[in-house]
Structure 1
Amino acid sequence: MSSPTHQEFRELVRSHTDLVSLIGESISLQPRHGGRHYVGLCPFHPDNNPSLNVYPDRQTFRCWSCQTGGDCFTFLMEREKVTFPESLELLARRANLAIPQNLTRSTPEQDTTKSKLLEVLHWAEAEFHKFLLTQPAAAPARAYLTDRGFTEQIIGDYKLGFHPDDWTWLLKRAEGKFPAKLLVEARLAGEKEGRHYDAPFAVNRVLFPIHNERGQVVSFGGRILPGSKEPAKYINGAESTVFHKSQLLYAIDKARDAIGQSKQAIVVEGYTDCLICHQHGILNVVATLGTALTDSHVTALKRFAQQVVLVFDGDDAGQNAAKKAVERFLAQDVELRILTLPEKLDPAEFLAAYNADGFRALVEQAPEAWEFQFRMTRLLHGGDSIAGRQRILEDMLHLLAQVPNISGSLREGLLIANLAQRLQLSEATVREQLKLVREKKKDRPRPSEPQAAIKDLSREAGRIYRGRLGSEERVECDLLEQVLTAPENIGFVSAAVGEHPVKNPVFREILDACCWEAEENGELTLAGLLGRVENPELKSLIVWIDEQAVAKGLAEKVRESGYDDDGCPAFLKRALDELNWHRATQSHATVASQLSQQADGAGRLDEATEDALLRQAAEFHLKRATRKTTV
């Protein structure tokens, strides 16, 4: 029997798709005129009165307000933002229709495609979930989830799973079903020296499936069990063709409709917080995936929400993350609000101690981002004195100067007027001070200027190529390799070296160019960095450093190392800690020298200065002792 043509298969899929049922999965439909047609709120524009009409007899739909209309393929293409071939494939799978070989884009023997990756990920999700529910080896995982307050329903609805402590368990389960190469492409497995192994994010971990907006599983997050000696508490699967963590939010598939109905998205920092919120009936909640909120995240949320509320833990790390978020998104055309929870609680702890109504009340009271930062700055400096008001003005204008794409905008004008009124200053004065702050920022040497000033660049580059570096320079080189292989982490490195630039002038030049590229273009890419750097020798060195990073497999090491509470990869955090230790050692050497001169009578230190130096020395020795016990 010959395979159907493309047109024949399209009509077969159409005949197996009930449009009322399909649209009813996304919005609530009400029958009219005895079921001859249905109406509902249109998902393609803000709709208060039902204007979307669905006609079962013709299997078509039309919105009489925004004029969007068509058949089942049109609805899916508009709703999910996919191409026609993708909509055909999605509806075929929904109808349990086998896609003819002549129409599919791959075979098991060919290079993997998006559909095959999604298929193996869906299979793995089922395997992990079944193991969690049925196997004795998963008892500690079930006990952990129970202790955290998860119900059986939430575990089932979100397909939580577990991978046993066996590095080939999933590969063995896949034998005869999927080739090992496909599991590697899906980041469910790895390969080293010709041997395959299950992905580190999964082994002996509780697994949280990560779905895209269409509900397709694209990766997993793994959480260690209590008592584990693994340093990384959470590890996400590595990025793949179908998974980009900086563009995806956890539980967006479950939360999308609630966000669209409420026009509000609540963003928390972890899977557990997100699921506990959903369990308490707060469904318009999503979570970031081990990263800070990105422009891509905000752009995606703006399709559904008019207001985004960022919820941070009440500890110091949460406060710092909130400040960074204000700076990054103040210029976005979305109402951004910041909520830090009281008593240093995270959302799950708050809901356990109080209730959903208490959480919702705090969300509704959350201040706008600008207001949040003003309150924090006023709390820090006080606003009753002239000096305090001046410091508030300086901090707020520094923040405003850091915000991209806001200069000269209406939003900037409104913020300036707000600041002037609250500090009892004229708008003209505030504008003039902002201009001065921006001019100082512009005066900072740009990467293109000092390139020629590096003394004997060829000799320095040769020394780097030959590996003739001091211990601190080696750490700096490692940091650059990590920046080039995982450029989304440039913010952590920039913050760490901001006050104390790196020692090696060539590395400092490259890192400066990286920071400027990320700041001015919103992201750091190798192509953008090479386009920014003019010196050909420096370009060659950047390419060489990138090649070294690839040869070492740093990208995978960074991704699989886990993340701290700020979203910094553990692998990068270790390098930054090592750099800070080198700086502390150098600083201590200076302190020790001053104290030695004082003891010999050669120095002239007043009593307060000497006490301060002695305290610094004592703190250094304490850190060194602690470092020795942890290394």
Structure 2
Amino acid sequence: MISKATIDKIFSTIRVEEIIGEYVQLKRAGSNLKGLSPFHEEKSPSFIVSPSKQIWKDFSSGKGGTAISFLMEIEGFTYPEALRHAAKKYGIEIEEDRREISEAEKQSQTEKELLYKIHEVANQFFQDQIQTEEGRNVGYAYFRERELRADIIEKFQLGYAPEQKDAFTQYALEKGYTKDLLEKAGLAIFPENSPNGVDRFRDRVIFPIHSFSGRVLGFGGRILKNNIKTAKYLNSPETEIYHKSNVLYGLNHSKQAISRHNLCLLVEGYMDVIALHQAGIENVVSSSGTALTVEQIKLIKRLTENVTILFDGDSAGIKASFRSIDMLLSEGMNIRVLLFPDGDDPDSFSRKHPQEKVERFIREAATDFIDFKAEILLKEAAGDPIKKAEAIRDIIKSVGFVQNALKQEVYVKEVAGKFALSEQSLFNELHLQQQLQKQHTTPAPKPSTSPVKLVKVDEQPTESISPLYVLEEKLVELMLKYGDRLVERTDDDQQSYQISVIEEIIGHLEEDECEIQSPLNEKIIAEIKDGIRSNQLRSGKFFLSLMDEEISGRIATALVEPYENSDWSKHQIFFSKEEDLVPKIVSDVIYRHKREYIVKLIHDLKHSLSNDDDSEEVYKKIITLNQLRKTLDEKLFRIL
């Protein structure tokens, strides 16, 4: 268990904008930072980070909270895992609570956590093996042959799986890990003829595959012997923690550089990523030999919308790139493509030339996708007019994937100029392809088995939000934002006194025995009342430390404003802010809430009467409540 002192130190040290900045490209918006939601597809940024309050709010999904809750949400961390990750990032030493862990806590260690743990163990095992005699002669020798420096080998945690068929399996079993876990992790196989188990990775150099935050999810292994008939590369199978379509190799090392350069270089293999890092070019990732997926593109889009695809020029890779281009365009990315000279790939080219030349070549030789496709397809057409027309149709098909209408028009004009064609004919072709695409992607409506019922517009049911609920939400928001603020009040004898916002609102709710409308508000109010009993005023910051997902989102909603006012003072226009009017707002909302609660009571009493019920007592209550409502109307200037 992590000690309370360590948890407090973590919360006081970490910066929400730094943690989130590794996952989301944030831009300054007044005193806040703004970016696209990492949880919900959107075109206009509604994800807000408040450095001053150290909280975030995603207005598209409704989620919000602290840096720790963000890590839990985006990485699927448990609370302790998120704390340990943050502590490692900020160099905070973890102090363990010495109390004995209960059986319930031991059982709470999920299979997912064990999978992460066994991958950490395997990763360390493979790294240690490279230091053995066999590892140095085979694995380390291969990396040195590829001219990798020792610091790069260490940075990417490269390792070696020994030739012995069960080396890791026996090592893990001796440490107490089960056969079932090793199988589920994809690290060992237990066939009938080898009940003691067989390592999945044997006699290969190992490339660990990390998550966005740096946790080991799986491995890629390259065989070094040419006389063995097996796949050159072997990857971990799909597991509960490793889904290859959701992972980009090298992203954990490259995310900050991608955000800083506002550009992602997309390459094909592990060694391409590693070699470019060694050359000083770090804004690079790989799809690890698999076809690019929408999930992988979304990972990149959190950090930048600009992608340059680097290919080594072989025909199979070029054809595969066409599909990647269309997918990137459909996700709103800006794309450039670069083909290396014959015989070169990013790995070999970066080893031949200094960093400045490599960077300049990538910058200057990269072309937009139209020029790239035109060069490749027209070379294949070789003057054949029919093939040339097909090539142009293929390019226009890619333009059709561009989401922005203005960009589409610019690209069509570019194609028209390049091939001396009329813009109108290209727009006609674009429209035709879009219509065909809709026919292929839109499912036919299912025939209805029930008679069609026509409903008039004025018969449509409409949802209405209770004014009482809205005012209750505002009371809770005021307690969360300004709960410990003291406000000046005057009693019946005209004597001045001070009272905190929390105490005044809780006093109102208890005096009128108000029934709380929302279960979440009930939970927050119960915590505030507990605080009062222990002489503690629990406002927003207290609740953030509870790590309750629902409450964190509610706090973030209360504390983070989606919009900020411009500085109107430069135009000699001045107006008050909410924080300047807290005493008046609190009393006003209390009166309004009191009035709406009275209206609810009157409504409930009227409905409790049956047609033949003539209860005098109930009518007296209704009359009394109506008089109270009128008194409140006067206070609120609602009398006409």
TM range (shorter): 0.5 to 0.7
Change in Cα spacing, 1:264 to 1:26, as seen in structure 2 (3 Å) is same
By how many angstroms is 1:145 displaced? 0.9
- The alignment status of 1:181 with 2:180, answered yes or no, reads yes
Change in Cα spacing, 1:401 to 1:63, as seen in structure 2 (3 Å) is same
CA contact (8 A) 2:75 2:213 kept: no
What one-letter code is carried by the residue in structure 1 that aligns with 2:303?
F
Change in Cα spacing, 1:442 to 1:308, as seen in structure 2 (3 Å) is closer
Q: Secondary structure at the match of 2:208?
A: strand
By how many angstroms is 1:405 displaced? 5.6
CA contact (8 A) 1:51 1:65 kept: no
Change in Cα spacing, 1:143 to 1:416, as seen in structure 2 (3 Å) is same
Q: 2:7 aligns with which of 14, 24, 31?
A: 14
Change in Cα spacing, 1:198 to 1:418, as seen in structure 2 (3 Å) is same
What one-letter code is carried by the residue in structure 2 that aligns with 1:302?
K
Q: Distance in 1 between matches of 2:79 and 2:133?
A: 37
Aligned ranges 1:290-309 → 2 under 5 Å:
290-309=289-308
CA contact (8 A) 1:210 1:219 kept: yes
What one-letter code is carried by the residue in structure 1 that aligns with 2:367?
P
Question: What do the CA deviations read for 1:452-493 (whole angstroms, capped 9, x no partner)?
Answer: xxxxxxxxxxxxxxxxxxxxxxxxxxxxxxxxxxxxxxxxxx
By how many angstroms is 1:154 displaced? 1.0
Change in Cα spacing, 1:377 to 1:115, as seen in structure 2 (3 Å) is same
Q: Which residue of 1 aligns with 2:170?
A: 172
Q: Which residue of 2 aligns with 1:324?
A: 323
Q: Secondary structure at the match of 1:274?
A: helix
Question: What do the CA deviations read for 1:62-120 (whole angstroms, capped 9, x no partner)?
Answer: 426997389x9811433674378624433147454669755987649x8x522111111
Q: Distance in 1 between matches of 2:81 and 2:65?
A: 10
Quick check: which one's helix share is greater? 1
Q: Which residue of 1 aligns with 2:429?
A: 433
By how many angstroms is 1:13 displaced? 4.8
Q: Which residue of 2 aligns with 1:312?
A: 311
Q: Secondary structure at the match of 1:250?
A: coil
Q: Which residue of 1 aligns with 2:151?
A: 153
Q: Which residue of 1 aligns with 2:276?
A: 277
CA contact (8 A) 2:399 2:411 kept: no
Q: Which residue of 1 aligns with 2:45?
A: none
CA contact (8 A) 2:211 2:252 kept: yes
What one-letter code is carried by the residue in structure 2 that aligns with 1:78?
F
Q: Which residue of 1 aligns with 2:372?
A: 372
CA contact (8 A) 2:187 2:236 kept: yes
CA contact (8 A) 2:247 2:287 kept: yes
Aligned ranges 1:192-591 → 2 under 5 Å:
192-193=191-192, 195-200=195-200, 202-365=201-364, 366-381=366-381, 388=385, 391-401=387-397, 409-436=405-432
Q: Distance in 1 between matches of 2:104 and 2:417?
A: 63
Q: Distance in 1 between matches of 2:323 and 2:77?
A: 41
Q: Which residue of 2 aligns with 1:86?
A: 78
Change in Cα spacing, 1:394 to 1:84, as seen in structure 2 (3 Å) is closer
TM superposition score normalised by structure 1: 0.58
Q: Which residue of 1 aligns with 2:115?
A: 117
Change in Cα spacing, 1:360 to 1:44, as seen in structure 2 (3 Å) is closer
Q: Distance in 1 between matches of 2:195 and 2:65?
A: 43
CA contact (8 A) 1:44 1:66 kept: no
Q: Distance in 2 between matches of 1:313 and 1:301?
A: 21
TM superposition score normalised by structure 2: 0.57
Q: Which residue of 1 aligns with 2:56?
A: 68
From the CA coordinates, give the structure whose radius of gyration is larger: 2
By how many angstroms is 1:377 displaced? 3.0
Q: Secondary structure at the match of 1:336?
A: strand
Q: Distance in 2 between matches of 1:250 and 1:229?
A: 26
Q: Distance in 2 between matches of 1:246 and 1:83?
A: 16
Q: Distance in 1 between matches of 2:380 and 2:302?
A: 36
Change in Cα spacing, 1:329 to 1:428, as seen in structure 2 (3 Å) is same
Of the two structures, which has the highest relative contact order with CA contacts closer than 8 Å and spacing of 6 or more? 2
Q: How many residues align?
A: 414
- The alignment status of 1:45 with 2:26, answered yes or no, reads yes
Q: Secondary structure at the match of 2:220?
A: strand
By how many angstroms is 1:241 displaced? 0.7
What one-letter code is carried by the residue in structure 2 that aligns with 1:351?
S
Q: Which residue of 2 aligns with 1:484?
A: none
Change in Cα spacing, 1:291 to 1:361, as seen in structure 2 (3 Å) is same
By how many angstroms is 1:272 displaced? 0.9
By how many angstroms is 1:165 displaced? 1.0
Q: Which residue of 2 aligns with 1:540?
A: none
Question: What do the CA deviations read for 1:520-562 (whole angstroms, capped 9, x no partner)?
Answer: xxxxxxxxxxxxxxxxxxxxxxxxxxxxxxxxxxxxxxxxxxx
What one-letter code is carried by the residue in structure 2 that aligns with 1:419?
V
Q: Distance in 2 between matches of 1:356 and 1:371?
A: 26
CA contact (8 A) 1:328 1:404 kept: no
Q: Distance in 2 between matches of 1:212 and 1:243?
A: 9
CA RMSD of aligned residues (A): 4.0
Structure 2 alignment gaps of length 5 or more: 34-48, 59-63, 88-92, 445-640
What one-letter code is carried by the residue in structure 2 that aligns with 1:166?
Q
CA contact (8 A) 1:206 1:224 kept: yes
Bigger mean CA deviation after superposition, 350-359 or 78-87? 78-87
CA contact (8 A) 2:6 2:94 kept: no
By how many angstroms is 1:318 displaced? 2.7
Q: Distance in 2 between matches of 1:84 and 1:341?
A: 39
What one-letter code is carried by the residue in structure 1 that aligns with 2:158?
L
Q: Secondary structure at the match of 2:122?
A: helix
Q: Secondary structure at the match of 2:219?
A: strand
CA contact (8 A) 2:396 2:412 kept: no
Q: Which residue of 2 aligns with 1:143?
A: 141
Change in Cα spacing, 1:436 to 1:391, as seen in structure 2 (3 Å) is farther
Q: Distance in 1 between matches of 2:396 and 2:159?
A: 45
By how many angstroms is 1:135 displaced? 3.6
Q: Distance in 1 between matches of 2:272 and 2:206?
A: 15
Q: Distance in 2 between matches of 1:189 and 1:285?
A: 31
By how many angstroms is 1:189 displaced? 1.1
CA contact (8 A) 2:206 2:221 kept: yes
Structure 1 alignment gaps of length 5 or more: 28-39, 53-60, 449-631
Change in Cα spacing, 1:232 to 1:19, as seen in structure 2 (3 Å) is farther
By how many angstroms is 1:420 displaced? 2.3
What one-letter code is carried by the residue in structure 1 that aligns with 2:10?
T
Bigger mean CA deviation after superposition, 206-215 or 311-320? 311-320
CA contact (8 A) 1:236 1:289 kept: no
By how many angstroms is 1:161 displaced? 0.8
Q: Which residue of 2 aligns with 1:574?
A: none
